[in-house]
Chains A and B, each alone.
Chain A
Amino acid sequence: MNVKENIKTLIVNKPLKLDCGQTINEFPLAYETYGSLNKDKNNAILVFHALTGDQFVTGKNPITNKDGWWSYAVGPNKSIDTNKYFVICANVIGGCMGSFGPSHKNPKTNKSYGTDFPVITINDIVNAQINLLDHFGIRKLFSVVGGSMGGMQVLQFVSNFPDKTKTAVPIACTASHSAQNIAFNELGRQAITADHNWSEGEYSSNNTIPDKGLAVARMAAHITYLSKKGLQEKFGRKLQERDDLKFGFDADFQIESYLRYQGSVFVDRFDANSYLYITRAMDYFDLAKQFKGNLSNAFIKTNAKFFVVSFTSDWLYPTQENKDIVIALNAIGANVGFVEIESDKGHDSFLLDVPDFLSALKNFLDQSYKE
């Protein structure tokens, strides 16, 4: 079976001018929807995925056969209730789940684009997705919601299309990638490009993949998604299927084995070049800079109601960076609520079963929908 049969794709006919200067035409945007659009077309929520996510938000992902990445939050009667709302999620451009990305064939060379793919930004990613509104005939979304890189897209979306959504929920994110964020992404990119199999990005012609490099990138990133306390509680110094240290470099500790596993399953589902491109887009993200250093100006045209959420143990996009968004919004009298959720689960909290978060999200959406 061709996996692509399970992927809904919109071919975007409108040319999209990218921040790098290039223009892309007739490009595919893969998406998935959940729930149904009501008659007034005012119950749609555009969900944005994070770095390694995809359009398969909930239910079984038909490609990986695993649960969707936000199954805890999205579904019937869940925080984003698909009995009530029409949920749309697109694979970001630059991604590897059907949207226009570096693994697509370049018609000029008949080979994958690889590093000939244009460098894209969060702005480009969001500008590509606005086409979904026209596609469904939606004039105004009920909400835009996303965590991590998804949260950055929320901010960029509201800034670019101030009257296209009633509410906006940026979760565990930042308005500007910090030096530490860039550093971790660079570590991942270096791991990929140092893998001999990467071959300057042309690995698909060689029928290989830089799996070792991509796995290391994932392992390093995965550590940043967890908290020290969470790791300690889950793994501590527990040994992996052995009674004592083996005095070698095998995975003695459970945490080593866990990370190796995370790395190995990741390479089966994710493209190394996509990883380079999407992390670059995150690093280039600086919404304040787009408005001459004044973040408030990014939101000055919108009447959207915001709800900003952070997590106590998230050190990748810590509370203060989320609060900076709140401060920028308050400086212009925007309608913004904010809560920091208590959780030991680190940055990944927004993806996991964190009841306080899930109920806050549900309450905000359901109450706002009534207004």
Chain B
Amino acid sequence: MKLEFKIIANLLEENTRILDVGCDDGTLMEFLKKNKNVDIRGIEISKKKVQVCISKGLTVLEGNAEFDLKQFPENSFDYVILGQTLQAFVNPEIVIKELLRVGKKAIVTIPNFGHWKVRLNLLTKGTMPVTKTLPNDWYNTPNIHMCTIKDFVKFSKTINFKIYKSLALMNKNVSNINNSNLSFKNLFAELGIFLIEK
């Protein structure tokens, strides 16, 4: 997933303050720290992973983004990054709103549930899709709110935020998503990467 990190890095301007929400073991934070002149913090729910981040010298808070973003004032960060975790929240709507309150901009990446392999998996097997990117069974998956790229675009209109830039990652290639190719990208992209604003 190095490519996803590179795409994220390219979306960020230098000399900015960044919050990585659900920063996991800090791999992205480390990558950005090394490759960009940015001031980056992380928030992570797992104690173990917070420990790993600390051992890498990263500034990370143990916390749950659904509740703990509240502590940050408006526009505390230039960018807030949410990498492949939107689908794991009980209330993605609140999370998106919080991201855009705390950050001037947000970068949200989503594993695309509209990908043809997922669709085929459900169509042929008739059971909840288990793929390389979605390895869990329905009953133990942390991904309780899966969505497609199309869903996310629709979501932006429903809850009223701007998609500033949308990129599709397919077969290690990056391409722009626009109105005319949306259905195509929704079928073939493994990952959607969105730069959003209020």
Contact = CB atoms under 8 A, between A and B. Distances in A.
Interface of A: 305, 307, 326-327, 330-331, 333, 335-342, 356, 359-360, 363-364, 367-368, 370-371
Nearest to B51: A360
A335 B47 contact: no
Contact of B63 (A338, A356, A360, A363): A338
A339 B46 CA distance: 10
B62 A339 contact: yes
A327 B71 contact: yes
Contacts of B53: 337
The CB with the most chain B CB atoms within 10 A, among A326, A330, A356, is that of A330
A338 B62 contact: yes
Contacts of A371: 57
A367 B57 contact: yes
Contacts, number: 57
Interface residues of B, number: 20
Contact of B54 (A326, A340, A360): A360
B54 A364 contact: yes
Contacts of B58: 337
B42 to A, nearest CB: 9
Nearest to B77: A333
A3 B122 CA distance: 79
B47 A341 contact: yes
Interface in B82-141: none
A360 B56 CA distance: 11
B51 A339 contact: yes
Nearest to A331: B73
17 contacts: A327-B71, A331-B72, A333-B17, A335-B41, A336-B61, A338-B60, A338-B62, A339-B50, A339-B54, A341-B47, A356-B51, A359-B55, A360-B51, A360-B54, A364-B54, A367-B56, A370-B57
A326 B62 CA distance: 10
B35 interface: no
B55 A331 contact: no
B59 interface: yes
Contacts of A339: 47, 50-51, 54, 60, 62
A332 to B, nearest CB: 8
Contacts of B47: 339-342, 356
Contacts of A326: 61, 71
B37 interface: no
A363 B61 contact: no
A331 B59 contact: no
Contacts of B63: 338
Contact of B59 (A327, A335, A363): A335
B178 interface: no
A368 B60 CA distance: 13
A340 B59 contact: no
A117 B41 CA distance: 46
B71 A359 contact: no
Nearest to B76: A333
A330 B59 contact: no
B59 A337 contact: yes
A341 B57 CA distance: 18
Contacts of B61: 326, 330, 336-338
The CB with the most chain B CB atoms within 10 A, among A363, A368, A371, is that of A363
A363 B72 CA distance: 26
B72 A330 contact: yes
A363 B54 CA distance: 6
Contacts of B60: 337-339
Nearest to B72: A330
The CB with the most chain A CB atoms within 10 A, among B51, B53, B76, is that of B51
A341 B62 CA distance: 10
Contacts of B72: 330-331
B71 A330 contact: yes
Contacts of A335: 41, 59
A340 B71 contact: no
